[in-house]
Amino acid sequence: MTKYAIGIDGGGTSCRAAVADASGTVLGRGKAGPANIMSDPEGALVNIVAAAGAACEDAGLQASALLASTAVLGVAGANVGPYGARIQAALPFAKAQVVTDSLIALQGALGHADGIVGAFGTGSVYSARRNGRVHDIGGWGFIIGDQASGARLGRDLLEMSLLSHDGVRPATPVTRIVMEQFGNDPQRVVAFAHDAKPKDFAGYAPLIFDHAAQDDAVALEIIRKAASDIDQNLDALLWPECRGICLLGGLAGSYRFWLRPAHQSLLVDPKGDALQGAVSLAVASISEGERRSA
């Protein structure tokens, strides 16, 4: 029988963990670097274990507590190919389950209630629970998905900056700032984009929102497109009786007033965050194991 529950929120910018007792009381928290299991699985594993270890240390527990723990890791890419299974097999816990970041976000925000969650950080993902059944949208990575994510916003800004440099689109203050960062050398922009991680692109998100507030044409175009993408995803998940939409993640507050009024009217505050959702699922896993062994 495992003694502790560990919830882990493996984000593209940082990895957070919390250790709780079997009743769900959080004993300690920890944080480490990014946990992108698709673009850097080795680094992600190191940071996942480091965050869990830091949580145990914060709780006054020895590192061996990891071996007596049931862990639930929520991470982008868990639903893509073998990535989730590979990480799960390498984790050092007594029992581990790797699930999508959307599931822990849903659990944290809604508890066991029905509703919709959209999470926007380095990546983006949506999840809906209706009559107890969960349906996810997105989480495919920013190269071909993750619309409205920080990484996608940054990628779009670099693209628009190169278009402005080439004279295809008018330059604006935000594109001038970007090009100046690279010495007005487009080849340096391309070299950066080639080697950059999602979190590096996401670092441009605050700049975009700041300039959108100043009516910068390029920043406004990027944000309006992102908000339209969010509205379309919410439309795909909504049902007539749905009474709650939660926006989560570092960009959630920035998008709140860019959505269509019909969606704004359904916005509700989340009960908790994704990390709390992961802890809740880990505690539930311990309880289920105890019931089966009784």
- Tens digits of residue pLDDT in 210-256: 999 999 999 999 999 999 999 999 999 999 999 899 998 889 999 99
- Burial category of 225 from C-beta neighbours within 10 Å (exposed 0-12, middle 13-18, buried 19 and up): middle
Average confidence score pLDDT of the chain = 90
Confidence of residue 289 (pLDDT cuts 50, 70, 90): low
- Contact between 229 and 67 under an 8 Å Cβ cutoff? The reply is no
Of 51, 59, 74, residue with least CA distance to 25: 59
> In Å, what is the CA distance from 12 to each residue of 7, 53, 89, 268?
16, 19, 20, 25
If you write DSSP's letter for every residue of 59-110 in order, what string do you get? TT--GGGGGGEEEEEEETTTTSTTHHHHHHHH--SSEEEEE-HHHHHHHHHH
- Contact between 276 and 7 under an 8 Å Cβ cutoff? The reply is yes
Q: Are residues 117 and 224 in the same domain?
A: yes
CA distance 219 to 205: 10
Q: Are residues 266 and 121 in the same domain?
A: yes
CA distance 167 to 169: 5
Q: HSE on the CB side for 66, CA within 13 Å?
A: 18
Confidence of residue 266 (pLDDT cuts 50, 70, 90): very high
CA distance 158 to 142: 14
Q: How much is the pLDDT for 290?
A: 62
* CA terminus-to-terminus distance, the chain: 11
Q: Are residues 104 and 71 in the same domain?
A: yes
284: CATH: 3.30.420.40
Of 292, 275, 250, 281, residue with least CA distance to 124: 250
Higher pLDDT, 245 or 293: 245
Q: Are residues 90 and 182 in the same domain?
A: no
Q: Are residues 201 and 237 in the same domain?
A: yes
Q: How much is the pLDDT for 170?
A: 94
Percent of the chain surpassing pLDDT 90 = 62
Query: Poorest-confidence range of 38-47, 185-194, 281-290?
Result: 281-290
Q: Are residues 259 and 279 in the same domain?
A: no
Full domain range(s) for residue 187: 113-270
Q: How much is the pLDDT for 208?
A: 97
Q: Are residues 171 and 245 in the same domain?
A: yes
Query: What is the total count of domains within the chain?
Result: 2
Q: What is the mean pLDDT of residues 59-86?
A: 84
For residue 58, give the 3-state DSSP assignment: helix
Q: How much is the pLDDT for 75?
A: 84
Residue 87 above 80 pLDDT?
yes
Q: Are residues 220 and 284 in the same domain?
A: no
Q: Are residues 180 and 79 in the same domain?
A: no
**Adjacent-strand bridge partners of 201:** none
Confidence of residue 76 (pLDDT cuts 50, 70, 90): confident
CA distance 249 to 92: 28
Q: What is the mean pLDDT of residues 77-94?
A: 82
Q: How much is the pLDDT for 293?
A: 63
Q: Are residues 36 and 175 in the same domain?
A: no
Q: Are residues 50 and 188 in the same domain?
A: no
Residue 2 above 70 pLDDT?
no
- Burial category of 91 from C-beta neighbours within 10 Å (exposed 0-12, middle 13-18, buried 19 and up): buried
pLDDT digits (tens, 9 = 90+) for 148-205: 999 999 999 999 999 999 999 999 999 999 999 999 999 999 999 999 988 899 999 9
CA distance 248 to 53: 26
Q: Are residues 96 and 145 in the same domain?
A: no
CA distance 105 to 279: 11
